[in-house]
């Protein structure tokens, strides 16, 4: 067994009053991502509506920072999809943070934000 990391990321809501898309609040719903070096690639998306391959958003974000060959990904999320509670943002942040910590990349916050915005396609959350 190789390296293993588990990260938890809260859902969020943007669109707070006069801070539309500029101010957000974390919510008590969380996404949990576990990544482990197992020698083979696999994805357990935790929800049959989500992809179980390299197109999974957690995996796509992780692959921005490190190759995913030989890694197993397990995703569990309390954040409802397409409900405006940051499910895609949480998935992206989880993937990036897991890679950053697992391989001790020590990226600065602004670097992580650039990668997150690149994966998401825009810098605000869903």
Give the mean pLDDT of the chain.
Answer: 89
The pLDDT confidence band at residue 86, using thresholds 50, 70 and 90, is: confident
Domain ranges of the chain: 4-120
pLDDT tens digit sequence for 29-52? 999 999 999 999 999 999 999 999
The top-level CATH class assigned to 4-120 is alpha beta
Structure tokens at 23: 């101010």
Environment class of residue 24 by beta-carbon count within 10 Å: exposed (0-12), middle (13-18) or buried (19+)? middle
Report the DSSP beta bridge partners of residue 31: 9, 77
pLDDT tens digit sequence for 103-122? 999 999 999 999 998 998 75
pLDDT tens digit sequence for 67-83? 999 999 999 999 989 88
Residue 19 has pLDDT above 70, yes or no: no
Say how far apart CA 84 and CA 31 lie, in whole Å.
Answer: 14
Say how far apart CA 50 and CA 21 lie, in whole Å.
Answer: 26
């Amino acid at each position: 067994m190789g390296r293993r990391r588990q990260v938890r990321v809260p859902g969020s809501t943007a669109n707070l009053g006069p801070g539309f898309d500029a101010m957000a609040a974390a919510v008590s719903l969380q996404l949990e991502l576990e990544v482990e070096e197992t020698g083979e690639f696999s994805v357990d998306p935790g929800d049959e509506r989500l992809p179980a391959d390299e197109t999974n958003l957690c995996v796509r974000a992780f692959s921005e920072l490190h190759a995913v060959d030989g890694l197993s990904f397990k995703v569990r999320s309390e954040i409802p999809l397409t409900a405006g509670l940051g499910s895609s943002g949480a998935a992206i942040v989880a993937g990036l943070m897991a890679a950053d910590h697992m391989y001790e990349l020590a990226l600065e916050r602004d670097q992580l934000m650039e990668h997150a915005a690149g994966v998401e396609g825009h810098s605000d959350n869903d």
